[in-house]
């Protein structure tokens, strides 16, 4: 009986994976989604500093992508000492964990499972799966404490270079900088 239940679960997982792949192959939905909300107008001519919440080397590359995209829009930038700061953060979620099944699992859970499996002699490494990359940005007035704008972009796909994915998502957010943007799909080239 136990073997039949396991076989049924495996069959459901395989069918579900094939369905998701077909939907993306047919081009029905873009793997990326971006939206933004403007709360107050962004003052023109006021320089902006860009700051990651996590000052890692990877986020410095994403910061560079933000600054390049903002420069192309004609936004004045500075390294600090300005009332306006564009803060951003990155997050990675695993949506499918091989050997476990489908469903949303955050990075912390995946790391715990990988460590446990390695200690027990199970899986050793990531053999694939689907990952959701999330990039959030806010423009805050440091003097008044007001949030002027915020945006979020998500991208779902196979495990690839996280830093390159986030760096490619930054210009998508900047396209809606200072504006309210209803959810729109995008693809990373």
**What is the pTM (predicted TM-score) of this model?**
0.70
- When the candidates are 3.40.33.10, 1.20.120.1200, 3.30.70.2190, 3.30.160.670, the CATH number that belongs to 31-186 is 3.30.160.670
Question: What local confidence, expressed as pLDDT, does residue 157 receive?
Answer: 87
CA distance 77 to 51: 11
Question: Which residue from 145, 155, 173 is spatially nearest to 67, judged by alpha carbons?
Answer: 173
Q: pLDDT grade, residue 182 (50/70/90)?
A: very high
**Where are the chain's structural domains?**
1-30, 31-186
Q: pLDDT grade, residue 100 (50/70/90)?
A: low
pLDDT over 80 (residue 132): yes
Residue with the bigger pLDDT between 139 and 101: it is 139
Question: What local confidence, expressed as pLDDT, does residue 189 receive?
Answer: 81
Question: Which residue from 142, 125, 135 is spatially nearest to 170, judged by alpha carbons?
Answer: 135
pLDDT, mean over the chain: 77
């Amino acid at each position: 009986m136990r073997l039949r239940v396991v076989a049924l679960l495996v069959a459901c997982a395989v069918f579900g994976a094939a369905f998701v792949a077909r939907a993306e192959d047919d081009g029905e939905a873009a793997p990326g989604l971006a939206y933004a909300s403007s709360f107050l107008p962004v003052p023109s001519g006021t320089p902006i500093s860009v700051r990651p919440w996590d000052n890692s080397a990877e986020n410095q590359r994403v910061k560079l992508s933000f600054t390049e995209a903002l420069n192309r829009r004609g936004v004045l930038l500075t390294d600090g000492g300005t009332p306006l700061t564009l803060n951003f953060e990155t997050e990675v979620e695993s949506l499918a964990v091989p050997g476990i099944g489908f469903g949303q699992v955050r990075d912390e859970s995946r790391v715990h499972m990988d460590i446990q499996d390695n200690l027990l002699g199970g899986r050793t490494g990531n053999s694939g799966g689907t990952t959701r990359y999330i990039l959030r940005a806010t423009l805050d007035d440091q003097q008044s404490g007001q949030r002027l704008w915020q945006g979020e972009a998500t991208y779902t796909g196979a495990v690839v270079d996280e830093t390159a994915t986030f760096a490619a998502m930054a210009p998508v957010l900047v396209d809606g900088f200072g504006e309210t943007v209803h959810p729109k799909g995008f693809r990373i080239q």
